[in-house]
Amino acid sequence: QKEVEQNSGPLSVPEGAIASLNCTYSDRGSQSFFWYRQYSGKSPELIMSIYSNGDKEDGRFTAQLNKASQYVSLLIRDSQPSDSATYLCAAVDSGNTPLVFGKGTRLSVIA
Partner 1 sequence: AAGVIQSPRHLIKEKRETATLKCYPIPRHDTVYWYQQGPGQDPQFLISFYEKMQSDKGSIPDRFSAQQFSDYHSELNMSSLELGDSALYFCASSLWSGRFGTEAFFGQGTRLTVV
Q: Which residues bind to partner 1, rule: CB under 8 A?
A: 31-32, 34, 36, 41-46, 49, 51, 88, 91-104
Give buried/exposed letters for 41-64 (b at 16+ CB in 10 A, else e): eeebeebbebeeeeeeeeeebbbb
Instruction: Return the bridge partners of 35, or none.
Output: 48, 89
Cα(42)–Cα(38) distance, integer angstroms: 6
Alpha-helical regions (H) of the chain:
none
Closest to partner 1 by CB, 76 or 100: 100
Min dist CB 90 to partner 1, Å, is: 8
Choose between 20 and 32: whose C-beta lies nearer to partner 1. 32
Q: Which of 24, 35, 8 lies closest to 69, judged by CA? A: 24
Least spacing, CB of residue 37 vs partner 1, in Å: 11
Of 62 and 104, the one with the shorter C-beta distance to partner 1 is 104
